[in-house]
């Protein structure tokens, strides 16, 4: 029985190799500095493979972003919208972020590259950030209504929740060099997660408690 | 009276133009992606000017880092080591960081580029971060001793203090796009500073207060 030419094992393998190589290069060099030639060479594919599988470098980039951001957005949304009390959900969000980073260390770099680029961020990024900041804003608003979270702009609180795990993840190399903190060690990661969750909860929490 | 050949007005002007162009390019593209040709072109200097004024691209990079990091380290150290109570000093540190960013928007990008590069960070960066994290760690320890700051690893608290202003500054473009928050507007900056200082103080503060 013939296999359709669109989905031969070789095609799927090449597509996956292109996605992996592109994610690594886009994350560490940025979109502009990464060439199709570099991606295909790293993926062990021929120069036409990006056009054949994705249509263009930009379409490949959007595919990489969607692939990386879907588990990020859905994981954070699930934690932010659970039935637990708002302050516990904030700690859960931090935990989910740490778990995601252990599985996908390129994620924060993809986001940071976009934040540093001097042009509009593409739709997959703005959509994911809108979803995440919306869900975190709702969490904060709910905590302000039930009196567990102090007053203030929910959007800014949402940013402060995210700032902690993002910063710790991008600072990993310098942390190791300056302070000997190895963020790849599971025990250290757990200590960082616990610290970050506690700091975020204290930062949000109504003082009079 | 002849002027020494090392310090003619033209030399000083060219040197300054090279520093400015290099800082902008290193901050937005990273060290590796920036060529001497690009720096001299942007500075309106001839191709040999980097070698003449600095010796090498790397020496120019270190000069750029030292120039950007000196006011950063000294400003944060002054705020962190003042005679005010530890929690107020933490808020002062956040304020100093916001002021520095308004004057030197390239600073966080220079730091982030180094954090993303897959090699050891250079000495001017590790020295500045060691000084800053040391001073913030001491501030936290002092607050833990006088009972105003809760228990925990001072180094991790130091990181959480810095994470907030750093993240807000690098997220500026995306914040504008996703939430319509213009961080270049002085009133908005002041609102962000006040929020960040309050979040950091609450995150550090002993809960029982």
Q: Is B176 on the interface with A (CB under 8 A)?
A: no
pLDDT (tens digit per residue) in B63-104: 999 999 999 999 999 999 999 999 999 999 999 999 988 888
pLDDT band at B8 (very low <50, low <70, confident <90, very high): low
Task: Say if A198 falls within a structural domain.
Answer: yes
Domain range for A166: 64-204
Cβ–Cβ contact B152 with A under 8 A = yes
- d(Cα A180, Cα B204) in Å, to the nearest integer? 23
Are B163 and A208 a contacting pair, CB within 8 Å?
no
Angle between helices A154-170 and B107-116 (to 10 degrees): 50
Place of tokens 């935990």: A95
Quote the pLDDT of residue A209.
46
* Cα separation values, B133 from A6, A99, B125, B206, Å: 54, 26, 12, 21
* Nearest-angstrom CA–CA distance, B22 and A197: 39
Residue percentage of chain A with pLDDT more than 90: 64
Domain-located, residue B1: no
3-state secondary structure B110-171: HHHHHHHCCCCCCHHHHHHHHHHHHHHHHHHHHHHHCCCECCCCHHHHHHHHHHHHHHHHHC
CA distance B83 to chain A (A): 24
Q: Which of B207, B205, B190, B209 is nearest to B94 (CA)?
A: B190
Q: How far is B147 from chain A (nearest CA, A)?
A: 16
Q: Which residues contact B16 (CB under 8 A, 6 or more apart)?
A: none
* CB contact at 8 A, A144 and A150: yes
B10 in contact with chain A, both atoms CB, cutoff 8 A:
no
Q: How many domains does chain B have?
A: 2
Rounded to an integer, what distance in angstroms lies between the CA atom of residue A132 and that of residue A55? 29
Residue A34 has what pLDDT?
A: 93
Query: In whole angstroms, what is the distance from residue B3 CA to residue B8 CA?
Result: 6
Please return the burial class of A163, using the count of CB atoms within 10 Å of its CB with bins 0-12, 13-18 and 19+. Answer: buried
B38 CA to centre of own chain: 24
Nearest residue, CB atoms, A152 vs list B150, B170, B195 = B195
Q: A8 falls in which pLDDT band (50, 70, 90)?
A: low
Greatest Cα-to-Cα distance within chain B, rounded to the nearest angstrom: 71
- What would the two tokens of residue B103 be? 């004057």
Within 8 A of B152 by CB-CB distance, chain A residues are 195, 198
Q: Is the pLDDT of residue B208 over 60?
A: no
Residues in chain A closer than 8 A to B174 (CB atoms): 114-115, 121, 125-126, 129
User: Is there a contact between A112 and A170 (Cβ–Cβ < 8 Å)?
Assistant: yes
pLDDT of residue A6: 53
Whether A79 shows a pLDDT value over 70: the answer reads yes
Q: Do residue A44 and residue A94 come from a single domain?
A: no
CB contact under 8 A, B116 and A118: no
Average pLDDT over residues A19-36: 92
Q: Shortest CA distance to B126 belongs to which of B175, B41, B62, B71?
A: B62
Asked if A26 and A61 count as a contact pair (C-beta separation under 8 A), the reply is yes
Model pLDDT, residue A9: 60
Q: Are residues B173 and B77 in the same domain?
A: yes
How much is the pLDDT for B209? Answer: 46
- Say yes or no: A135 and A179 in one domain: yes
**Rg of chain B in Å (alpha carbons):** 20
Confirm whether the ipTM is greater than 0.90. Answer: no
Highest-pLDDT range among A166-180, B82-96, B163-177? B82-96
* Same domain, yes or no: B195 and B130: yes
Distance CA A196, CA A164 (A): 6
Exposed / middle / buried, residue A61 (Cβ in 10 Å: 0-12, 13-18, 19+): buried
Distance in angstroms (rounded) separating the CA atoms of residues A86 and A84: 6
Report phi then psi at B208, rounded to 5. Answer: -65, -15
> Taking all residues of chain B, what is their mean pLDDT, rounded to a whole number?
90
In B, minimum Cα distance to A155 occurs at B179
Q: Say if B2 falls within a structural domain.
A: no
Residues B146, B84, single domain; the answer is: yes
Look up the CATH number of the domain holding residue A11. 1.10.10.60
Which residues of A, range 82-141, sit inside 8 Å of B by Cβ? 109, 112-118, 120-121, 125-126, 129-130, 133
Residue B187 and residue B134 in one domain: yes
pLDDT of B35 higher than 80: yes
pLDDT tens digits for range B143-169: 999 999 999 999 999 989 988 888 887
Domain shared by A51 and A102, yes or no = no
Start-to-end CA span in chain A (Å): 69
* Residue B79, domain CATH: 1.10.357.10
Per the domain annotation, does A1 fall within a domain? no
């Amino acid at each position: 029985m013939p296999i359709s030419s669109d989905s031969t094992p070789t095609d799927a393998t090449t597509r996956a190799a292109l996605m992996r190589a592109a994610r690594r290069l886009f994350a560490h060099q940025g979109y502009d500095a990464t060439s199709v030639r570099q991606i295909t060479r790293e993926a062990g594919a021929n120069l036409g493979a990006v056009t054949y599988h994705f249509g263009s470098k930009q379409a490949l980039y959007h595919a990489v972003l969607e692939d990386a951001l879907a588990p990020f957005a859905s994981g954070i949304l699930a934690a932010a919208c659970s039935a637990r009390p708002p302050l516990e959900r904030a700690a859960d969000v931090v935990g989910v972020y740490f778990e995601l980073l252990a599985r996908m260390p390129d994620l924060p770099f993809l986001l940071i590259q976009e934040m540093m680029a001097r042009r509009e961020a593409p739709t997959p990024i703005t959509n994911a950030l809108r979803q995440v900041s919306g869900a975190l804003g709702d969490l904060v608003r709910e905590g302000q209504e039930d009196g567990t979270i102090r007053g203030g702009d929910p959007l800014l609180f949402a940013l402060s929740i995210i700032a902690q795990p993002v910063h710790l993840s991008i600072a990993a190399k310098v942390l190791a060099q300056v302070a000997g903190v190895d963020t790849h060690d599971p025990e250290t990661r757990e200590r960082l997660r616990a610290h970050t969750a506690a700091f975020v909860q204290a930062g949000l929490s109504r003082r009079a408690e």
